[in-house]
């Protein structure tokens, strides 16, 4: 790609993201959907002006990592720890059930080949942590107990999805499961979960001390935070399986895990946190929309044959599994009313970029036919665009109930 083409693409991404986010916000629609719509408009679905490449993907991933870093700053660590077991329940159910049912329906009901059915199941396990968190933030609900459950579960789902992606990709290319690659990814996950809080605490103290005592030039905090994002993305990439997945899909996805505890570890001094947020917010507001526009750019409505009966039969079946497989996990939680269970379950439904990575990998290695690929793209689109509307409606009901309780 020529430099002038990249500059034009970035201009279109940023300006369209802002315009449609403002329009959607004015129409009382979650602004994140405006940014996704901007990508659908600019991408292959409609105008075809922008094609996603590795440079845009990397910039987009920096955006989602920065968003998670901000979530870490704003997350109540005690509440997150208290809801940890519930998050595990929701995450495991939301991974095992969609995978199992997706595979079973594809293999036994629609007689699709084994590897195709496995990849379909894998695609349905995904949860887009970026879409989920952004919707909760747009609605001002990211600090509720239900949101803490969702954040923990979405993080775990993201990790499970990456491991499953590596295993299935390996199986697709070699015809067998490579134990060495699988173990390497599991070790990476374990490393990040155990080492990240320790490293985060050490680095946060260093940043705090240096900024308060020795810093001579402005801009230290944004520079060091972005540098850490790039460094840990690269380290995760080294531990991952790039020769199988390509690009930075596994590495960058796993590197996100570091920045939630990193943000949490910086919370010791409220004044420092306020200063840090002021300096980081411009970067977050700049990069985060690029990620959501890229989600829209990755969707291609033109591959979908809406007139095919087979398309609709498989689509309806997988959509049902995609929704029930995530919402059902929330109903296993005790001491929670039905409304909050629906909020947790609905928050886990968006597939977003993670589901698209599965679908695109299946297409690129010729596992999916155009028909199956189009079904999965449509399922990802519906599960990405509809839940924000449902969440807004559910939170509105919750607010009305709270008002009634106060008045009574």
Res 255 pLDDT > 50: no
- Over residues 128-145, the mean pLDDT reads 80
- Over residues 280-308, the mean pLDDT reads 85
Residue 9: predicted pLDDT? 93
| The token pair that represents 56 in the structure block | 């845009």
Residue 249: predicted pLDDT? 40
Cβ contact 347:391 at 8 Å: yes
Query: Which tens digit of pLDDT belongs to each residue from 386-397?
Result: 998 899 899 888
Residue 312: predicted pLDDT? 93
Nearest to 22 by CA among 289, 242, 314, 268: 289
Residue whose entry in the numeric block shows the structure tokens 């590197």: 255
In the chain, domain spans = 3-407
Distance CA 40, CA 35 (A): 9
Distance CA 342, CA 381 (A): 20
Give me the chain's average pLDDT, please.
Answer: 79
Three-state SS string over 1-50 comes to CCHHHHHHHHHHHHHHHHHHHHHHHHCCCCHHHHHHHHHHHHCCCCCCCC
Distance CA 59, CA 36 (A): 16
Q: Of 164 and 266, which is predicted with more confidence?
A: 164
Distance CA 397, CA 392 (A): 9
Q: Say which CATH class 3-407 falls into.
A: mainly alpha
Distance CA 284, CA 266 (A): 17
In this prediction the pTM is 0.76
Burial class (CB in 10 A: 0-12, 13-18, 19+), 32: buried
Cβ contact 43:277 at 8 Å: no
Cβ contact 302:40 at 8 Å: no
Query: Which tens digit of pLDDT belongs to each residue from 55-114?
Result: 888 788 788 777 777 766 666 666 666 777 888 899 899 989 999 999 999 999 999 998
Nearest to 304 by CA among 377, 355, 380, 363: 377
Res 251 pLDDT > 60: no
Mention every residue, 6+ apart, whose C-beta is less than 8 A from residue 72.
259, 260, 261, 262, 263, 264, 266
Distance CA 129, CA 328 (A): 18
Phi, psi of 50 (to 5 degrees): -125, 135
The three-point CA angle 393-399-400 to 5° equals 90
CA distances (Å), 228 to each of 84, 133, 225, in order?
26, 22, 5
Distance CA 121, CA 183 (A): 21
Look at residue 57 and give its three-state secondary structure: helix
**Helix, strand, coil percentages in the chain from 3-state DSSP, rounded to 5:** 80, 0, 20
Cβ contact 387:347 at 8 Å: yes
Alpha helices in 75-109 (DSSP H): 77-82, 84-104
Residue 185: predicted pLDDT? 65
């Amino acid at each position: 790609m020529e430099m002038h083409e990249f500059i034009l693409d970035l201009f279109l991404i940023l300006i369209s993201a802002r315009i449609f986010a403002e329009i959607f916000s004015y129409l009382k629609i979650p602004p994140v959907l405006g940014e996704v719509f901007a990508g659908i408009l600019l991408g292959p679905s409609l105008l075809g002006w922008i094609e996603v490449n590795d440079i845009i993907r990397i910039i987009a991933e920096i955006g989602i990592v920065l968003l998670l870093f901000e979530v870490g700053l704003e997350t109540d660590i005690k509440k997150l720890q208290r809801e940890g077991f519930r998050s595990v329940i929701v995450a495991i159910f939301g991974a095992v059930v969609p995978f199992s049912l997706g595979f079973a329906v594809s293999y036994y009901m629609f007689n699709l080949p084994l590897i195709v059915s496995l990849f379909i199941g894998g695609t349905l396990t995904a949860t887009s942590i970026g879409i989920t968190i952004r919707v909760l933030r747009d609605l001002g609900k990211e600090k509720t107990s239900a949101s803490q459950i969702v954040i923990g579960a979405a993080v775990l789902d993201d990790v499970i999805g990456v491991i499953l992606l590596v295993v299935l990709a390996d199986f697709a290319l070699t015809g067998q499961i490579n134990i060495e690659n699988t173990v390497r990814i599991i070790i990476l996950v374990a490393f990040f979960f155990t080492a990240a809080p320790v490293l985060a605490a050490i680095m946060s103290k260093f940043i705090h001390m240096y900024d308060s005592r020795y810093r001579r030039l402005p801009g230290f905090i944004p520079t060091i935070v972005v540098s850490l994002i790039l460094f840990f993305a690269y380290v995760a990439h080294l531990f991952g399986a790039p020769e199988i997945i390509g690009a930075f899909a596994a590495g960058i996805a796993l590197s996100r895990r570091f920045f939630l505890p990193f943000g949490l570890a910086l919370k010791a001094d409220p004044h420092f946190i306020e200063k840090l947020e002021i300096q980081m917010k411009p970067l977050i507001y700049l990069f985060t929309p690029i990620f959501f526009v890229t989600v829209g750019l990755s969707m291609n409505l033109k591959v979908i044959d809406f007139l095919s009966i087979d398309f609709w039969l498989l689509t309806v079946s997988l959509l049902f599994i995609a929704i029930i497989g995530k919402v059902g996990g929330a109903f296993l939680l005790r001491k929670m009313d039905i409304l909050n269970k629906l909020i947790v379950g609905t928050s886990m439904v968006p597939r977003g970029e993670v589901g698209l990575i599965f679908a695109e990998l299946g297409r690129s290695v010729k596992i999916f036919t155009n028909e199956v690929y189009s079904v999965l793209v449509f399922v990802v689109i519906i599960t990405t665009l509809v839940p924000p509307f449902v969440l807004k409606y559910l939170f509105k009901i919750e607010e009305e109930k709270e008002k009634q309780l106060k008045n009574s």
